[in-house]
Structure 1
Amino acid sequence: MDELAKYKTVAVHVAAAGASAALGTASTYPLDTLKTLIQVGSSSGKTLAVPDVLYRVGLLSGFQDGREDDYVSVSEALMAGFAAGMTESFVSSPFELLKLRAQVSAVSHATPPPRRAEKSVARPLISRLLPRSSMDMTAMSNSLGILSTLTTKHANISDALKEYPWLMTGSGRPPAVSTVQTPSEVISLEGWTALWRGLRPGIVRDSIFGGVFFSSWQFLHQVMLYWKAAGMDPIPRYDKDIGPLSPISVSLAAGVSGSFAAAVSHGFDTARSRSQCTVLPKYLSMERRLLKWKRPGKRFERLTGIHPSDKNLLLNGIGLRMARCGLASSIIVGSYLFAVGHLLPD
């Protein structure tokens, strides 16, 4: 019976934590969307503000580990947060990429180019390499005219150019992010590894966020325990003798910690968002590997995945992310404590 009760307790905690996380995410999703649009829509020459985006849209429980006390130090919480953040970043990366592209596509006015008549020999290649794109005969003719003046040229330039589909579309650019957002489209055009694009800044962001969040929350938790113990006579020897804290105070402490952690890690969140909203075909990725292409920027920027041109945009949307993370943390912790308090017996 004791084993069954133990498993039931664990199951209740898991279910309450999952439901709380879903509630917190759903409650703060509009703020997350605004934050993403500000990060991705800004450029070095123009920074989007909240009114601009709105206008466009409008048109923990613990377990004993053998210690005398179940106290968790701030340094332990920091290291545990680092490890949890890195794991979360790797697991959630594909889902975050699809979410970001769906958010951007919701306010994008890009429309697929009109379909033109294509030669049957070129259709399979285009449909395989260029989703929603078709051959631009004008661009094709211009390219043939330029290359035909070369003294040494291919025996059949027309067929050779069909091996370079970007040239055949006339744009020289890959499709817009709004046209490559479903899993099948991303995998077909960019390859499986695209689902983990922006992993470097993502790991740095989530490890910093997790470490700062859990360590600062543990620090605030200890401060509140000491404050409560100061008014007790006699002074309790162990934390468990102080009694539970108010769920409201614990939720508010989590909100403050979430906002603080979001502010510290926001620069890497912007770098990841902008990286995930960039379409990079797998053929260009292969070409970069063959040419031994080096990442631009200084050593720190290369290690953390920050593009040099985004240095002035890293703090865009920081207020929205602080509000979103703070509110979500409070809702998650508050609803979790409420669910556990009502589902488990005293």
Structure 2
Amino acid sequence: MEELLNNPVFVSHVIAASGSVAIGTAIVYPLDTIKALIQVGASSRKKLTTGEVLGRVKAVSGYSGLYSGLSWLTLGRISSLGVRFGVYEILTAFYKDGRVDNYVHVSEALCAGMVSGALECCLNSPFEMIKLRKQVAAAIPIPTISNPATKPAPAPIISRLLPGYVPEKATLDRTVNLLSVLSSKNINMAEALKNCPWMMTGSGMLPEVTHVSRPLDIVRLEGWRSLWRNLRSGLARDSIFGGVFFGTWQFMQLAMLNWKAVGMDPPPETNDEVPPLSPFAVSLAAGFSGSLAAIASHSFDTSRTRSQCVVLPRYLAMERRLLKWRRPGNWFERFTGIHPADRNLLLRGVSARMARSGLASFALVGTYFIAVDHLVSNL
């Protein structure tokens, strides 16, 4: 490892890769925010448009809200994309071992891409969830109490699980009035209800996602496992995305190499004898592959995005495990983590995600080539 760190070529590639990931993520991040809000706000009766999403974000947090959570996604993608491309290169190196030229079949690229995408999902999942909560919080106003002097003291259970959160007093009073007709030995029923985890909001409903957007609040209320919530949909999404992306990209590169070799005299015997492709052509192929992969995996992306925006306290998750709660839906939905209520919403935001993935892949590969050429030439 020390030898690699002292190798200027290796360090140049690391710097170029990190910079290209940061630039590509920042360029397309508003599209990612729009896509996420369309998916989260989708319902069977109403379909959010891009204009409505922009209007809500502008009214709540201004246009800067489109970049809410950018730092978390950038931090996660620098490491996860390194795993995706690194594992892909390692697997394809085994495929190419012993062959005359550096030839990789499209099917081999697809399999290697699926494995690398699955590993990428496991690493990027916590950053993705925090990023998503930040995006949603930037589009939903948080109600404030006008008179801080009359702000009720938080109950012990709330102060432990969700510091700073105050239940709605009117809702809590309404619940107390409904239960007051029942016989109770507890003199102060309101304070007793506050100590029940399911009465945190005062109505028995779960807290809004806007109140559970910080990493510490997520861990306190929902536990560490929540950072990998609905990992099944994530694995299906990133496996399909990685397989289609690398498979399509390899197919297009082979097609461009064969087209370039048509006019050569004498005809090349291997692909290594063909002059390398231009960085623009490779970047364009990567952008098209990213768009196609986004379309193929979008249904699972919608399922995971919507599930990550549901606040599920750890005491409820523990009850589900103890009661051996059965996932709803048919066998395919249970296997992939798709909720049956989302069947008609799985394609919401597909155009935004297709544009985001295509532009991000194009910018990532293009800036990487430019940065590597500039850094290596100055060594």
Q: TM-score, normalised by structure 2?
A: 0.82
> Which ranges in structure 2 are unaligned for 5 or more consecutive residues?
60-84
CA contact (8 A) 1:154 1:160 kept: no
Give the match for residue 338 of structure 1.
370
Give deviations 1:75-114, integer Å, cap 9, x for gaps: 1211111111111111111100010111111110232567
CA contact (8 A) 2:158 2:200 kept: no
Q: Which residue among 149, 167, 184 is the counterpart of 1:134?
A: 167
Give the match for residue 118 of structure 2.
86
CA contact (8 A) 2:33 2:135 kept: yes
Q: Does 1:55 align with 2:87?
A: no
Distance 1:168 1:102 in 2: 22
* 1:336 to 1:185, Cα distance in 2 relative to 1, 3 A: same
Q: Does 1:175 align with 2:210?
A: no
* 1:198 to 1:264, Cα distance in 2 relative to 1, 3 A: same
Q: Which residue among 340, 343, 350 is the counterpart of 1:318?
A: 350
- Helix, strand or coil at the partner of 1:28: helix
Q: How far has the Cα of 1:275 moved from its partner?
A: 0.7
Give the match for residue 240 of structure 1.
272
CA contact (8 A) 2:16 2:368 kept: yes
Structure with max Cα Rg: 1
Q: How far has the Cα of 1:231 moved from its partner?
A: 1.0
Give the match for residue 24 of structure 1.
24
Q: How does 1:163-312 map to 2 (within 5 A)?
A: 163-167=195-199, 169-312=201-344
Q: TM-score, normalised by structure 1?
A: 0.90
Q: How far has the Cα of 1:12 moved from its partner?
A: 2.1
Question: RMSD of aligned C-alpha atoms?
Answer: 2.5
CA contact (8 A) 1:135 1:168 kept: no
Distance 1:183 1:127 in 2: 16
| Aligned residues between the structures | 338
> Which ranges in structure 1 are unaligned for 5 or more consecutive residues?
none
Q: How far has the Cα of 1:290 moved from its partner?
A: 2.1
* 1:143 to 1:75, Cα distance in 2 relative to 1, 3 A: same
* 1:169 to 1:71, Cα distance in 2 relative to 1, 3 A: closer
Distance 1:113 1:169 in 2: 15
CA contact (8 A) 2:237 2:301 kept: yes
Distance 2:126 2:247 in 1: 28
Distance 1:50 1:168 in 2: 34
Give the match for residue 35 of structure 1.
35
- Helix, strand or coil at the partner of 1:230: coil
Q: How far has the Cα of 1:227 moved from its partner?
A: 0.0
Distance 1:290 1:4 in 2: 49
Distance 1:243 1:57 in 2: 49
Distance 1:126 1:17 in 2: 43
* 1:220 to 1:134, Cα distance in 2 relative to 1, 3 A: same
Name the structure, 1 or 2, with higher relative contact order (CA <8 Å, separation 6+).
Answer: 1
Q: How far has the Cα of 1:236 moved from its partner?
A: 0.6
Distance 1:128 1:5 in 2: 44
Distance 2:357 2:248 in 1: 14
Q: Does 1:46 align with 2:50?
A: no
Distance 2:26 2:204 in 1: 39
